[in-house]
Amino acid sequence: MTRVVAFGGGRGLSAALRALSRLDLDLTAVVTVADDGGSTGDIRATRPVLPPGDLRKALIATADPAKSETARLFSHRFGGQDFLTGHPVGNVVLTGLLELHANPVDALDFAARLLGSRARVLPMSCTPLDIEADLFEGDGTRTIVGQHDIAVADGSVKDVRLLPADATACPETLEAVAAADWHVFGPGSWYTSVIPHLLLPDLREAIGAAKARRIVVLNLSEEKETDGLTLAGHVDTLRRYAEGVRFHYVVSGDTRTFADPGSLNSAAQSLEAQLVAADLAADGVTHDVAALAAVLGNLLVEDGG
């Protein structure tokens, strides 16, 4: 069975996982662990556990349809005006599991069994991380720490890095990366969900050393953190952080690609990759899961490497 590792975080990774879960694959999700917004941020402020939000989303995205009620419970967000307000049940459950298990991978494997997940969900690091970014501001730059603040900040991103600088990848994650036939990056928040996987030195080295073929799926719409960055600019930015990593396909589902494919095709070639353009938009903002599954299926199954 074809072994695929999908990298990302948040809603972008969820879209990729929902598509990949439709295929007959041995699927692993590697999730960023730097989220610090909303419920996850509140939990991180008081408890030294991995941020649960993006991990929860990956587990739900790959849940067995027969476990839909459990997935619905994990997705339920408390209302009201008390200490539980705004917290998804899944974040609370994962926090409990992460406190019960010394190895966070064991906690996630337990949660995956509860949901009948069709993928193994792994954290990129077993250490909670933060993202630090330098942003252009006027004639100078300013530095911001925190995934949420970077995502909503004015100004364009000059550079990003992880804190602590000496963090390492989970051993189970490195094993999955080395054993995979394919690596899939994106879609997702470029600087805070996709690129962070290339900022962890031992993870980037493992990705580059693996024999896997690699696909990057571009976003359909701009986000505030990439405001003004073209699709070709997304690819060029990825290349800047992907030293030693070869990509094979760049998938664009933005219909604008059809009108002017030149610059994006050139950017893809700079990665030594082939541009694959298809109409993947469900509503102009999110990917159509079935269409994305069809494109990825063609690449993963028909191109045996």
pLDDT tens readout for residues 6-33: 999 999 999 999 999 999 999 999 999 9
Question: 126-163 as b/e, with b when 16 or more CB fall inside 10 Å?
Answer: bbbbbbbbbbeeeeeeeebebbbebbebebebeebebe
pLDDT digits (tens, 9 = 90+) for 29-49: 999 999 999 999 999 999 999
Please check whether residue 13 is in contact with residue 57, taking contact to mean a CB–CB distance below 8 angstroms. yes
How do strand 130-137 and strand 140-145 relate by DSSP bridges? Answer: antiparallel
Single pTM value for the model = 0.95
Alpha helices by DSSP H, listed for the chain, are 10-20, 38-46, 52-61, 68-75, 89-100, 104-115, 147-152, 171-179, 201-209, 231-241, 256-259, 262-270, 289-297
Residue 138 has pLDDT above 90, yes or no: no
More confident residue, 122 or 255: 122
Residue 256 has pLDDT above 80, yes or no: no
Percentage above 90 pLDDT, the chain = 80
Residue 259 has pLDDT above 80, yes or no: no
Average pLDDT, the chain: 93
Q: Which pLDDT score is estimated for 263?
A: 87
Q: Confidence class of residue 279 from pLDDT cuts 50, 70 and 90?
A: confident
Most confident of the ranges 50-59, 134-143, 268-277: 50-59
Q: Which pLDDT score is estimated for 260?
A: 65
What average pLDDT does the segment 148-152 reach? Answer: 91
